[in-house]
Amino acid sequence: MIHTISNRFPLNKRQWALISSGLAFLFLVAVIIGSFLVDEGKLSTNLQNRNALPSFNHLFGTDWLGRDMFARTVMGLSLSIWIGVIGAIGSTTIALVLGVAAAMGKVADVIVTWLIDLFLSVPHLVSLILIAFTLGGGFKGIVIGLALTHWPSLARVIRAEVMQVRSAEFVQASQKMGKSHWWIAIHHILPHVFPQLLIGFMLMFPHVILHEAAITFIGLGMSPHEPAIGIILAESMKYLSSGMWWLAFFPGFCLLLVVRSFDHIGENFRMRMDPFRAHE
């Protein structure tokens, strides 16, 4: 079927990637806009409609308290996206600062390299659990934990790019002209590493969202009163044996769609930025 469509619409891989990325982006925007349009009444308890199967009135069914699962899922996905945005921005900022700081001198490079190796030696989820538990969980704890645990891999990439740019002739010329390290970092290094920074930011989203859902699932993330996907999945585990499959299936499937959408956009963006794949 895909081959037939490709013959009818002769587009190359980059054009198909652009179209699919646009559709994925529209899906994410629809989730965020949908969270503002959700009827608050569907999130409140209604025992007359509890344990209802998926229908036109309740697309994802209702839970044991009669709350509409479609409304809860949309709110949970939107919350996960916003947490992912804030966490990924914080982690990307740390990676950028440390990656550029590595170019300030040998001592700074040794310290940055040591920090990267230190954080990479501990799994993200373990560090995230420790930080979130120390900060008392909640929105603040989970966001700070995500920002402090997902930067090492991107920082290593940025550091490598910075080291390459630092040895370039135009940078050497600026140094001989008396330009400061920060002037060179802002005018030469930052524009060069920005594409890598943006790609790393996009590819960091899936990991951030999944780790947020995982830590919330075990009870160390968001408050139980928040309609987070991790909380929804954790609560639904108690009712799966009763045949209420829709409580976990639809939120889990939608979380997978959001994660794959971010991952797809990031991968396609990296392909478009790759000069060796420009004519595919």
Question: What pLDDT is recorded for position 280?
Answer: 52
Domain assignment of residue 59, yes or no = no
Domain assignment of residue 196, yes or no = yes
Residue 227, C-beta contacts closer than 8 angstroms, at least 6 positions apart: 43, 72, 75, 76, 79
Quick count: other Cβ atoms within 10 Å of Cβ 267?
Answer: 15
DSSP state of 9: S
Task: Kindly report the CATH number assigned to the domain that includes residue 206.
Answer: 1.10.3720.10
pLDDT (tens digit per residue) in 223-232? 777 778 888 8
pLDDT (tens digit per residue) in 118-147? 888 888 788 888 888 888 777 888 888 889
Domain assignment of residue 8, yes or no = no
188 vs 65, residue with greater confidence: 65
Q: Which domain holds residue 83?
A: 17-33+67-277
Q: Which residues pair with 58 in a beta bridge?
A: none
Domain assignment of residue 127, yes or no = yes
Question: What pLDDT is recorded for position 5?
Answer: 46
Question: What pLDDT is recorded for position 213?
Answer: 86
Average pLDDT rounded to a whole number, residues 255-280: 72
Please give the mean pLDDT across all residues of the chain.
80
pLDDT (tens digit per residue) in 227-247? 788 888 888 888 888 888 888
pLDDT (tens digit per residue) in 70-80? 888 998 888 88
Question: What pLDDT is recorded for position 273?
Answer: 64
pLDDT (tens digit per residue) in 16-70? 667 777 788 888 888 888 888 887 777 788 888 888 888 888 888 888 888 888 8
Domain assignment of residue 237, yes or no = yes
272: pLDDT strictly greater than 80: no
Domain assignment of residue 160, yes or no = yes
Question: What pLDDT is recorded for position 173?
Answer: 78
Question: Residue 6's pLDDT band (boundaries 50, 70, 90)?
Answer: very low
Domain assignment of residue 159, yes or no = yes
Asked if residue 185 lies in contact with residue 103, where contact means CB atoms within 8 angstroms, the answer is yes
Three-state DSSP class for 258? helix
Question: Residue 14's pLDDT band (boundaries 50, 70, 90)?
Answer: low
Domain assignment of residue 141, yes or no = yes
Question: What pLDDT is recorded for position 1?
Answer: 43
Instruction: Tell me the torsion sign for CA atoms 158, 164, 169, 173.
Output: positive
Asked if residue 61 lies in contact with residue 247, where contact means CB atoms within 8 angstroms, the answer is yes
Structural domain count, the chain: 1
Distance CA 60, CA 109 (A): 52
Question: What pLDDT is recorded for position 201?
Answer: 85
278: pLDDT strictly greater than 70: no
184: pLDDT strictly greater than 80: no
